[in-house]
Every structure is written in structure tokens, then in C-alpha cells.
């Protein structure tokens, strides 16, 4: 069983966290049998936290967990915080194979998409 964790920063504003949850559901449209489940998780301000989500993956019987950082730039969260939390979880759940994918902001498509955003092109 393969689970994808969509890891966002998390906000004090609940609507913002619900956006991430909606996005994790929308990703199902693009899931061609790659993942059995897609679960949102949050670094701060919202639940499940990364450790809570990884614990849930273990309970669900996952073998492989892919942590997908939904962050724009490689700041301290990408370089330190997320790898740190994943490392701790790996100790707690040694049977899980946890990998961290590249972060969202690394995609080449972003510059073009930003220009569309600026010009309000649908």
C-alpha cells in the first residue's frame, strides 16, 4: 500500500487548511494507480501533523509513504523541519519506507503559471 502525504505549512486561518484538504482530494483525478490514498498533513497550526499522519499511514498498513512538500521555496522548512520530522517518524515506524519528493516550487512550469496568474488568464 502506497500513501501520498501532501504536506503544507498550515495556517491559523481554517479556510486555508481546508484549501489544502480540497487540493488533496482534487489530486485523486491525477492519480493513475500510483497511490492508494492521498492524505493532507501540516507542519504547523493544523492537524494532522506530520508525525500524526505518518502514524496513521502505519495504522492503515502502508508500506511506502511519499512525503510531498507543498512549499514554494527551499527555506528552513524544506531543508530542516520536514526532513527532521520524517527522520523521527522513521525511527518510530521502522517498517515504513518513507521518501520525501522534491518540493512543489522546484517545478519549471511555475514561471509561466505565475504570468497567467498576473494576467488573470484561465
Nearest alpha carbon to residue 66 among 110, 1, 20: 1
Q: Is 21 in the site for its own copies (CB under 8 A)?
A: no
Among 23, 48, 55, 58, binds its own copies (CB under 8 A): 23
Chain position carrying cell 498498513: 61
Among 70, 81, 82, 89, binds its own copies (CB under 8 A): 70
Nearest alpha carbon to residue 9 among 45, 56, 52, 38: 45
CA–CA separation, 108 vs 23, rounded Å? Answer: 20
Q: How crowded is the C-beta side of 72, counted as CA atoms within 13 Å?
A: 3
Among 33, 59, 76, 94, binds its own copies (CB under 8 A): 76
Among 1, 13, 61, 84, binds its own copies (CB under 8 A): 13
Q: Catalytic residue among 6, 9, 54, 65, which?
A: 9
Q: Please check whether residue 60 is in contact with residue 1, taking contact to mean a CB–CB distance below 8 angstroms.
A: yes
Considering beta carbons, is residue 35 or 93 the nearer one to its own copies?
A: 35
Q: Is 59 in the site for its own copies (CB under 8 A)?
A: no
The sign of the torsion formed by the CA atoms of 82, 115, 22, 37 equals: negative
Binding site for its own copies (CB under 8 A): 4, 6, 8-9, 11-13, 15-17, 19-20, 23, 26-27, 29-31, 34-35, 66, 68, 70-76, 79, 101-120, 122
Q: Which residues are catalytic?
A: 9
Amino acid at each position: 500500500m502506497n500513501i501520498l502525504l501532501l504536506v503544507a505549512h498550515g495556517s491559523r486561518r481554517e479556510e486555508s487548511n481546508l484549501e489544502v484538504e480540497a487540493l488533496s482530494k482534487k489530486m485523486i483525478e491525477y492519480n493513475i494507480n500510483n497511490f492508494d490514498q492521498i492524505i493532507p498533513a501540516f507542519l504547523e497550526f493544523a492537524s494532522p501533523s506530520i508525525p500524526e499522519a505518518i502514524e496513521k499511514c502505519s495504522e492503515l498498513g502502508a508500506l511506502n509513504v511519499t512525503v510531498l512538500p507543498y512549499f514554494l521555496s527551499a527555506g528552513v522548512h524544506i531543508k530542516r523541519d520536514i526532513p527532521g520530522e520524517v527522520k523521527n517518524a522513521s525511527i518510530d515506524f521502522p517498517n515504513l519506507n518513507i521518501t520525501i519528493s522534491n518540493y512543489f516550487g522546484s517545478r519549471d512550469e511555475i514561471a509561466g503559471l505565475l504570468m497567467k496568474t498576473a494576467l488573470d488568464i484561465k
